Amino acid sequence: MSNILDQIFVYHPMPWIDRDWARVSGIPLEEVWFQAEDGPRLFGWYVEARGTGAVLLWCHGNAGNIIHRLENLVELYRLGLSVFIFDYRGYGRSNGTPSEEGLYADALAAYTYVTETRRMAPQRLVLFGRSLGAAVAVELASRQPAAGLILESPFPSVAAVVRHYYGGLPLHWFLGARFNLADRLKQISIPVLVVHGDRDEVIPIELGRQVFEAAQEPKSFYPVPGAGHNDLYLVGGRAYFQRLKQFVETVVR
């Protein structure tokens, strides 16, 4: 269950803006509607590229909606990576109210869409989670098979973030959301790539390193010098995108 404090402090969805986003972006965005098992109708974009034959299932962060990831999406498409990016319940065009269990259910529904409707084999599916979405992707990886896991700007748990900002004050006790990524990650054995900006002002890189330490081998850590929380892909530039592609090509053969 999500409580009122979660809605204030954890989830920051933004309303949808109607526009021809395929024309704006110049890439073939296919609109997809699908349903979570517990009811909410969800929306996403599927972008099919000619390239690796792999699909990135993208779990985004706690703010905005998929529109705000469009620049990323364009670059990944140009690299030859297909992507399915979706909005959690309460984000963008998706129905419902966000909660921790709800986000997990939404990711599971997205996985079902890719593997059953699109008939993509799990061995060709790479889970990509950014910030809060990293915890969602890890939870999904603990429930369903995939070729690999990319965690960008992740944190070990909500409690770890609260401790960083508020010292010993147990303010996380008042939140319903836990997102215990590190505990779940210890149970996962697929290849993991952790990406983090070394000037991340929201989730410090030390928290990203804690996530990396919790992961089993095979794993790798890719720091992006000079990058903050929201400009990582911009600062990282071509080298960043090439690193993502290299990981995908290594785990999907």
Catalytic positions: 131, 200, 229
Task: State the DSSP H helix or E strand holding residue 34, giving kind and residue range, or none if neither.
Answer: strand 29-35
**Cα–Cα distance between 226 and 241 in angstroms, integer?**
16
**Cα–Cα distance between 199 and 129 in angstroms, integer?**
19
Positive/negative CA dihedral, 194, 200, 205, 208: negative
**Cα–Cα distance between 199 and 34 in angstroms, integer?**
37
**Cα–Cα distance between 118 and 239 in angstroms, integer?**
30
Residue 87 DSSP code: P
Report the chain's C-alpha Rg in angstroms: 17
Beta-carbon neighbour count of residue 20 at 10 Å?
A: 8
Peptide bond into 225 cis (omega under 30): no
**Cα–Cα distance between 100 and 144 in angstroms, integer?**
18
Closest CA to 73 of 10, 135, 28: 28
